[in-house]
Amino acid sequence: MQYEEQSDYEVLTANGWKDFDGIKETSRDEYYKITFSDDSILECTPEHKIKTLFDFTKAEDVSIGDYTSTGLKIINIEYIEETENFYDLINVADGHEYITNNVTSHNCAFIDNNKWESFWASTYPTISSSKEAKIIMSSTPKGMNHFYKLYTDGENDKNGFVTCTVLWDRVPGRDEAWKDKTISEIGLQKFQQEFECLFLGSAGTLISGTKLQNLVFTDPEEETFEDKFKIYEYPQEDRKYVLFADFGEGNSGDYTTNQVIDVTERPWKQVATYRDNELLYREASALLNKIGIYYNNALVIGEANTIGLAILDSLNDDFEYENLFYGDILENNKNVDYFGIKMTKRSKRIGNSYLKEYIEGDNLALCDFNTIGELSSYIKKKNSYEAEEGKTDDLVTPLVLFSYFMQNKELVEDWLDSTTYNKRDKTLQAIEDNLLPVGFFMDGEGLHNMEDDEEDWSGEYF
């Protein structure tokens, strides 16, 4: 069972809109599917309480022909034995009851914003099963989250929602003097969000609030790999692409993410993204190989953390990927070559600075909803930037890598210039020189060091 508190939403009850404490998610092996006279359907646990004409009754105790308190007749009851997730609202104010799809329920609970997609996917089919059912969402903006996407899609006729905005001056008694006084008390940004219904990012974001508001997301041309790989522009033969990657552990925590950028010319363009927090690191190298090949053997640059090093090594060793970036770092007074880029405090600071410059200067065009959403909560903390509490920045990290790489003229000329585009042979030699021990062999004359021996030992002795 999972539970989280909330304070941002209200639920419709017989006595109007009421507060509730949160949402509880439970998994059950049995449930009831109840059909009503308006063709709406309720799927619930056996203990779920439904308000009938006389009192609240458990779902397992209602019968065909019973009427709900809202006048609906139960016309069919189906008992199902299979695993399903259910969501209940917890501590609904003034009576612990609420209305969904014209049925009054009791003791329902909550889900946190990070689980919105699964919550929406599981409840929407039931709510929308009736032609008479209606969904009403009312909220002040809170960044570029799921409500922002639903509202924006509604404005652009991409879903069935009709949008409506009620501004502060629609309330009687509020004038410019009231506005000035309120701004002086809560600040301009808070006023714009709460009273002017502007979808702003969090305070202190790397990208300015004005620029974030002007970033426009688009629908992908195609979604594959269980909708985790979003293609916004298909690869073109004459274009040059770079794939930047950040890696998670595949335990439903941090996400493994890819950003594919068209770097043929400015403005550079985001053409595809991948995002998955269940991808095992053993599978990540195969994924990089597929996406890299698909985008014209894109140059692959990954963050060389502990997991990243293993994944990038596998991409080279197991798949022999032909366009894999490598760099070097000073260790024990010696330059050591490795695949990927290791993000230090300095390189992250440089990457953040140039990411801001590229986006605000219209040198990097973004179109992915999740990426824009993460940027809206990518805020300053101490001397760096990271996701605000409860948010993620896994799609931003590859863009920081991208910005760090693109600002380095030497790296760009060395790796993206057409005459030196394929550096696989040099990469293998440099890394193997640092990783492989010097070999020895013995013949009738004694022990020989292969590195010192001038003969062609590879053919003569083996």
Q: What is d(CA 398, CA 247) in angstroms, rounded to the nearest whole number?
A: 10
Burial state string for 77-108 with b = 16 or more CB within 10 A and e = fewer than 16: eeeeeeebebbbbbebeeebbbebbbbbbbbb
149-204 pLDDT per residue, tens: 777 778 778 777 888 888 888 888 889 999 898 888 888 777 877 787 776 656 67
Question: For residue 87, is pLDDT > 50?
Answer: yes
Token pair in block for residue 410: 């030497």
Token pair in block for residue 40: 């709406």
Which pLDDT score, from 0 to 100, does residue 112 have?
46
Q: What is d(CA 29, CA 369) in angstroms, rounded to the nearest whole number?
A: 35
Which pLDDT score, from 0 to 100, does residue 456 have?
44
pLDDT band at 419 (very low <50, low <70, confident <90, very high): very low
Q: Which helix (H) or strand (E) holds 317?
A: helix 306-317
Which pLDDT score, from 0 to 100, does residue 192 have?
76
- Main-chain dihedrals φ then ψ at residue 346, nearest 5 degrees: -70, -50
Correct CATH for 2-127 of 3.90.79.10, 1.10.101.10, 1.10.3720.10, 2.170.16.10: 2.170.16.10
Q: What is d(CA 49, CA 58) in angstroms, rounded to the nearest whole number?
A: 4
Which pLDDT score, from 0 to 100, does residue 446 have?
53
Range from 118-127, 137-146, 392-401 carrying the lowest mean pLDDT: 118-127
Which pLDDT score, from 0 to 100, does residue 260 have?
98
Rg, Å, the chain Cα set = 29
Q: What is d(CA 35, CA 33) in angstroms, rounded to the nearest whole number?
A: 7
Domain borders along the chain are 2-127, 146-200, 210-422
Fold agreement between 2-127 and 210-422: no
Q: Nearest to residue 394, comparing CAs of 278, 222, 269?
A: 278
Question: For residue 459, is pLDDT > 50?
Answer: no
Range from 166-175, 235-244, 402-411 carrying the lowest mean pLDDT: 166-175
Question: For residue 142, is pLDDT > 90?
Answer: no
Question: Taking the model in full, what pTM does it have?
Answer: 0.59
Q: Are 398 and 259 in contact (CB under 8 A)?
A: yes
Token pair in block for residue 344: 């230090």
Question: For residue 89, is pLDDT > 50?
Answer: yes
Which pLDDT score, from 0 to 100, does residue 436 have?
44
Question: For residue 447, is pLDDT > 60?
Answer: no
Question: How many Cα atoms are found within 13 Å in the side-chain-facing hemisphere of 20?
Answer: 29
pLDDT band at 297 (very low <50, low <70, confident <90, very high): very high
CATH 3.90.650.10 assigned to domain 210-422? The reply is no
pLDDT band at 247 (very low <50, low <70, confident <90, very high): very high
What's the rounded mean pLDDT across residues 357-374? 94
Q: How many other C-beta atoms can be found within 10 angstroms of the C-beta atom of residue 38? A: 18
Token pair in block for residue 462: 């083996």
pLDDT band at 274 (very low <50, low <70, confident <90, very high): very high
Which pLDDT score, from 0 to 100, does residue 412 have?
92
Which pLDDT score, from 0 to 100, does residue 50 have?
83
Q: Are 368 and 228 in contact (CB under 8 A)?
A: no
Q: Please state whether the peptide bond connecting residue 267 to the residue before it is cis, i.e. omega within 30 degrees of 0.
A: yes
Range from 11-15, 122-126, 158-162, 447-451 carrying the lowest mean pLDDT: 447-451
Q: Are 328 and 427 in contact (CB under 8 A)?
A: no
The residues, any chain, with a CB within 8 Å of residue 256's CB and separated by 6 or more, are 245, 246, 247, 248, 250, 274, 275, 276, 277, 279, 281, 284, 287, 394
The mean of the pLDDT values for the chain is: 80
Which pLDDT score, from 0 to 100, does residue 123 have?
66
